[in-house]
A and B are shown apart, each in its own frame.
Chain A
Amino acid sequence: MVTFQEISPADFFYRNRDIAGFTNPTRAIFSSVRELTENALDASDLTDILPEIYIRLSNEGESGREADIYRLRVMDNGSGIPARHVPSAFGQVLFGSKYKLKQTRGTFGLGGTMAILYGQITTHKPANVASSTGTSKIYEYKLVIDIQRNRPIIVDRKIHVNKDRWHGTVVEFCLEGDYIRAMPKILEYLKQTAVVNPYANIAFADPKGRLYKFTRVTTKMPPPPKETLPHPYGVDVETLQRLIRITKCRNMLDFMRTHFHRVGESISLSSLKFIGFIRTKDPKTLKPEEVTRLVQTMQSFREFPNEVDVETLQRLIRITKCRNMLDFMRTHFPKVSESVSLRLLQSAGFIRTKDPRKLKPDEIVRLVRMMKRFKGFLPPDASCLSPLGEELLEAGILKELNPEYIVVHQRKPFTYSGHPFIVETAIAYGGNVPKKGDFALYRFANRIPLLYDETSDVSWRIIKSINWRRYRVTPDMPIAILVHLCSTKIPYKTVGKEFIADRPEVKREILNGLREVARQLQRFLSKREHVEKARRRFATISKYLPKIAEYSTELAGKEEPPDIEKLLKSVEKFEEN
């Protein structure tokens, strides 16, 4: 017999923890460190506080299944979580503060809770969370997750006095893991995190008692991202219906202007005209006072070029065959553009649009479809994004790789399917850049290092498609390539957030970004080669010319050798150029 049952989101991820990156003890301990570190960094970014993050992992003994029990503690000095949200934030899957349209590291409200959930199912111990937003109290909770109901169960709650007005969050829980195997990835993760967070202090005390410190080299933080409205190109039917449900607007013009990103009156008018949602009066039905109002508007409208009076307009209305005011304007004032006509008519009060709440389902579908076709929307601005910036990126790379040469490049904001994004690229050469027979690729998305599934990533494929010999570059050189993608929506291929899918727009920006830094590297390499060549030339000439002088003096039977100093100097001078 077939039985049907409903499962909670927590239950779903409990059953499918692979997709969230908790496949095995090695991966689980890595993912836990990573998720909590990212939450900690996000908490600092939001409030413009220089992050101080302390991670401690200690061994609590064997678990008996080729893995050990570890206690993970992550402390930050971020904004803290309001007391009433603490249990849900850590004890309920898919509860979070990041379901907004701006760039954050986390997006799903999943990672932190998944880590705790994993700890709970492998060790049967409650998690400890303490947080304060800088008020006079620190709230400490002992929690377990009711997996079947996706609800936190508060085991214990304490309130401490916060004398120093500390703010931040401390999360501590036990989990089963394999640190020995996970260690290289964890250290690499922290190092790469330090590259893109050069303003953060990160300390990691590992189970072997070693302390890894990643110290900030700058106190500058990138400006925090602003929350943004959805862009018309990125909207689907469901989003539109949710907007209609909550909107206070009573006509489509206001609706477009209020709920969409970079839509003003003019664009609102012309897009609705394009979509076919604008109705205007029949000129024949205009009342005398309406004609007067139209003439007045025309006369006061700067962009309206014609001289016009009431009499002329009335004559035109008498002879016209047009059945609506837009056609009327187009026919009788052909010099006036549609955009100006629309604004003029709107200004004179001749434009009617529907009430958004009364749109029929087929009209909503049509609206979504036509909005995507309309070419007049402005591209989203990037204020909702928080790229690192060339200066900080350079500081981060210098700090961790100490290369001989570095070039960083930030692309202009761009969009894919209505989502703004910015690509930042960098190439580091020499120094501590590893030489491993192929380029070292550092991938970042919203300041998160991506460490797994490198070869599936769009950047990897782009790098493989570039003809590097054109840039005088060969894979045996010590070269690190860095690609950072910022977006309100990173096109990840999996919930595990490990690699980025091929979107044509994203791909093109990454490619162009890489080409730019590759060109700069080429310039550096050829300049270096040039200097090297000049140096070799000087060395060779200084080796042989004196001998030519010596033997030709002997051959010619002269007493003194010729003066070749000037000749040698002329070659040496060349080197400095």
Chain B
Amino acid sequence: MERKKEVLKGLTNFGAGLYDQMDEGVFPWIKMPSRSIENILYSPEVRQYILGDKTVRRSSRNIRHIRPLTQLVWAAYFAKELAKHRKTSTLRDVYYSAQAYNVPFKDQPESNNIITDLETVSGFAREDFNVFPEERSAVFGDLTIEYTVPGYEGRQLNLTSHPDGVLIGPALTSSEFAETTADKVIAIEKGGLFTRFIEELVHKKFNAILVLTAGQAPRATRHFLHRLNKELSLPVHIFTDGDPWGMHIAMVIISGSANAAHLRELTTPDAKWGGVWATDIVDYKLPSDRLTEVDIKRLYELQKDTRYGGELWQREVKTFLKIKKKAEQEAFSRYGLTYIVDEYLPAKLEEADN
């Protein structure tokens, strides 16, 4: 709840700054870090992308600035209203709500961009303002949480209570962690495998909390993984498809994306990518498809990416390029439905511990 107060205070200060400027007869203006490409740097200390020293100034004197500035002030106002009334919203919702206040956005990207401005200027993620994306990721495992959302305050839930897993939505994101017996987290890219793991009792056999990223992990999910790692000191293992795209899903959970350079607490730098590696395709003789031209182009891009500097990453990129093959997580089914749980997973987890 401390965080909520901080968010509210931040928004109040933002408004007060502008108010005082106008009171002193000055056209209100703001300054915030620039999010242009040349101001996004990778920081080895923080182990994620951060914004550099360049700032942008937006003044209501400037005819091209006053509209986005107005939209930004409105967005801050709207966020404060959400927080005050403990309501949640989505990006789509924000876009439509603006029309009711007569500060319309011309399209969804413009509205999204203003929300990102609000994150940049305030230093809080939009989830802190109760603005969430559409949900599709889930969590399953022995973790008891305590809700803080209105009407559920103090109520607890064990995340094994539903066999499909629990949606990582606004309520779960804002909940407190009560207790857990798990000693690790396994993040899985695909829904099919997530269900298989629950059926095969992976959470029990490996004492793990299972998280479904459903493709590229949404920011709420990345933040949730961050909290599991930081607050509960649980190591995080990531399992994706064996192709450049799966590899990058793991990387974004670990090191974050350039788009979120203005935000913290979305990354889990100590998380480990467990597979499927290119070397796994060779070692396990997995059924595979040929890499497409797009795949290969992407691999060359990743090879040059600062986040891929590590030995493991370079080795896997090179191997992909050498064997020119890719494999999905489901490829293990050629050895039987439980092979992945019985053989592959333990081997991989062990490898990660060494």
Contacts and interface: CB of A to CB of B under 8 A. Distances in A.
Interface of A: 536-537, 540-541, 544-545, 547-549, 551-558, 562-564, 566-567
B283 interface: no
B105 to A, nearest CB: 14
Given A562-B23, A563-B22, A567-B25, A555 B15 contact: yes
Contacts of B235: none
B74 A544 contact: no
- Residue of B18, B22, B25, B76 most packed against chain A (CB within 10 A): B22
Nearest to A558: B19
A301 B222 CA distance: 109
B77 A548 contact: no
Contacts of A545: 27, 60, 66
Contacts of A548: 18, 22, 28, 60, 66, 69-70, 73
Interface in B1-37: 11-12, 14-16, 18-19, 22-23, 25, 27-28
B22 A541 contact: no
Contacts of B70: 544, 547-548, 551
B67 A555 contact: no
B19 A552 contact: yes
Contact of A555 (B22, B23, B69, B76): B76
Nearest to B16: A556
A531 B23 CA distance: 29
Interface centre among A541, A548, A549 (most CB of B within 10 A): A548
Contacts of B16: 552, 555-556, 558
A567 B63 contact: no
A553 B60 CA distance: 16
A563 B23 CA distance: 6
B74 A556 contact: no
28 contacts: A536-B63, A540-B63, A540-B66, A544-B69, A547-B102, A548-B18, A548-B60, A548-B70, A549-B22, A551-B15, A551-B70, A551-B73, A551-B77, A552-B16, A552-B19, A552-B73, A553-B15, A553-B19, A555-B12, A555-B73, A555-B77, A556-B15, A556-B19, A562-B22, A562-B23, A563-B22, A563-B23, A567-B25
A520 to B, nearest CB: 28
B19 A544 contact: no
Most chain-B CB neighbours within 10 Å: which of A547, A558, A563, A564? A547
Given A544-B67, A545-B66, A567-B25, A555 B103 contact: no
Contacts of A551: 15, 70, 73-74, 76-77
A558 B77 CA distance: 13
B325 interface: no
A566 B27 CA distance: 10
Contacts of A567: 22, 25, 27
Nearest to A537: B63
A566 B24 CA distance: 10
B80 interface: yes
Contacts of B69: 544, 548
B66 A541 contact: yes
Interface residues of B, number: 25
Contacts, number: 80
Interface string B49-77: 00000000000100100110110011011
A557 B63 CA distance: 27
A553 B18 CA distance: 9
Given A545-B66, A562-B23, A552 B28 contact: yes
A567 B74 CA distance: 20
Contacts of B28: 548, 552
B76 A544 contact: no
Interface string B139-173: 00000000000000000000000000000000000
Which 4 pairs across A and B sit closest by C-beta, in order of nearness?
A: A555-B15, A562-B22, A556-B16, A552-B18
Contacts of B63: 536-537, 540-541
Interface string B76-88: 1100100000000
A556 B21 CA distance: 12
Contacts of B102: 547
B60 A555 contact: no
B74 A564 contact: no
A558 B12 CA distance: 10
Nearest to B67: A544
Contacts of A549: 19, 22
Most chain B CB within 10 A, of A536, A555, A556, A558, is at A555
B60 A541 contact: yes
A45 to B, nearest CB: 56
B60 A544 contact: yes
Contacts of A558: 16, 19
B46 to A, nearest CB: 30
A177 to B, nearest CB: 61
Contacts of A566: 25
Given A544-B60, A544-B70, A554 B22 contact: no
Given A544-B60, A564-B22, A554 B77 contact: yes
Nearest to A553: B19
A544 B19 CA distance: 14
A562 B20 CA distance: 8
Contacts of B76: 551, 555
A554 B23 CA distance: 14
B12 A557 contact: yes
Nearest to A554: B77
Q: Which one of A540, A556, A563, A566 has the highest number of Cβ atoms from chain B below 10 Å of its Cβ?
A: A556
Of B70, B74, B76, B77, most buried by chain A (CB within 10 Å of CB) is B70
Contacts of B77: 551, 554-555
Contacts of B23: 562-563
Interface-centre pick from B19, B25, B73, B80 (highest chain A CB count, 10 A): B19
Contacts of A564: 22
Contacts of B25: 563, 566-567
B119 to A, nearest CB: 16
Most buried by B among A537, A551, A553: A551
Contacts of B66: 540-541, 544-545, 548
Given A549-B19, A557-B15, 4 more contacts: A547-B103, A548-B73, A551-B76, A562-B22
Contacts of A555: 11-12, 14-16, 18-19, 73, 76-77, 80
A554 B60 contact: no
A567 to B, nearest CB: 6
Contacts of A541: 60, 63, 66
